[in-house]
Structure 1
Amino acid sequence: MSQAEAVRRPASAMWQLSLFRSEIALVFRRWRTLVLLGVLAAVPVLVGIAVKIETGGGRDGSFGEHGGAGPAFVSQVTNNGLFLVFASLAATLPFFLPMAIGVIAGDSIAGETASGTLRYLLVAPAGRTRLLLAKFATTMVFCVAATLVVAVSALLVGALLFPLGEVTLISGTTVSFGEGLVRALAIAGVVAASLVGIAAVGLFVSTLTGSGIAAMATTVGLLITVQILDQFPQLHAVQPYLFPHYWLSFADLLRDPVYWDQLWRNLALQGLYAGVFGSAAWARFTSRDVTA
């Protein structure tokens, strides 16, 4: 390796890190992002207050008139505030979390095009591939941040409104509160990973248009459409290939022993979507005329 190449490689690595930091700062300083995170943080508050009011009349840990017939995990919240984390993630995963990811991913490239800043980004020595990777990595960071906002908000609200203690798992096994926290963290990780598919789809859509609003609306529209398709029994043959099909498999982490089958299928499916739509986004972005 020549001395010039040795100098160039650290400089290139520093540029990539600088580009990634710049993208992170750009996303998390926007008011839209802060509003999305605020809405996500408010969901556990609303769920916790609703459960507290509903069970305030002295009902024995039940929710609604039929006790355990409420949403998953909700009937356990009054016995242990940690279950508010699981209930809130189950409540936000079908729509609120993926919608927020769809907004961020859909706007990633199209928003830059609409504002006229994309051509200036490409003048810098980033390259289209590196820029696309930075955009996708930033979206992944937002996936983790959004999921943690829900989990932390739920944990704080659960600790304020309900008792904390040993956790009784779905299988009936009782574990310590510390192990329950570890499982909650693992569940948050699985939920964040479950959003990779919609992030890749949103990134691909973002390369197809020069309008950020159109890209965001299209991504959210696709999310709603796929969610609807996943409910029809007649489509059972294709449903295992729809990215939201295994989203709620995170509940299997609350079993002893853990049921890994659907968890691995979920992660593999998200990886498949990331590979397919990430490649499609790269093919489109690297061949598209965005500097004219």
Structure 2
Amino acid sequence: MITSMTGFGRGKAESEQYSVTVEMKSVNHRFCETIIRMPRQLMEIEDKIKKLVQKQVKRGRIEIFVTISGENIAQKDVEVDWKLLGHYMDELKKIQQTYQLTDAVRISDVLKMEDVFLLNEKQQDRTVLHGLVLEACEQAVNQLLLMRKQEGAQLLSDIVAQVNQLHDVREKIVQLAPKVVDHYKERIQKKLSEYTGEAFEQQRVLTEIAIFADKADINEELTRIQSHLQQVIQTVETETLVGRKLDFLTQELNREINTIGAKANNGDIAQCVVEMKAHLERMKEQVQNIE
């Protein structure tokens, strides 16, 4: 089964001290890109989270949001730099004496003194918290995968439908292709008759028709289109990580369809080419979503 690159997952894990919620969303991307937004105190397990996700997700841009409630993740203490504070106070006294100021130094003034108060973070055991985060991440990625598979099933259905439509239009062109040369032969003979009567060189006409038939021959392109369509069906039915391969096949199909449009000098075939391009464009849009 093919998998979409878009999806959403949510996980939650709790203990007596903490409640951890992890949300993941993924969108299209050429490679696997993981972006994690969480408190900086948990950055030490960032690699573990990425490995957990990338073990199951191979393509897409995955954004991960980690939210924690409960006890503070970090315990902090305030430390006073008494030596620096003493310097501040000494200098303030000098200013008062020099300029005969009578205002007293208030606590609000002390709080504004730069670098006097230092905030220190205590090291603490976060083993339990780390386990909760990873547990919630695993729940979220499982939900994400489920949604990606569900969307993948819808993509598969639409791609198969487009392939069937392309196959039907190709069959129309197969039926029309032999008539192109016959119509050209009729046109050239009619024009020559109008200009020269019946006195024109048949061998020259046959030569011109042969040259035209060679230039307008689209059998090779039709055969390759059939092969590519078969490969698309085989790929989506038997493989999993098919996004890049399908992207290549749609490019090849586009090339062959354009060649038919350029070579086939026929209005009905031109109309079929337009129809094939419309179906192929729909298929390309769906392929861009596949992992």
TM-score category of the 2 structures, normalised to the smaller one: under 0.3
Greater percentage in helix: 1
Higher relative contact order (CA 8 A, sep 6+): 2
TM-score (norm 1): 0.23
Which structure has the larger Rg over C-alpha atoms? 2
Greater percentage in strand: 2
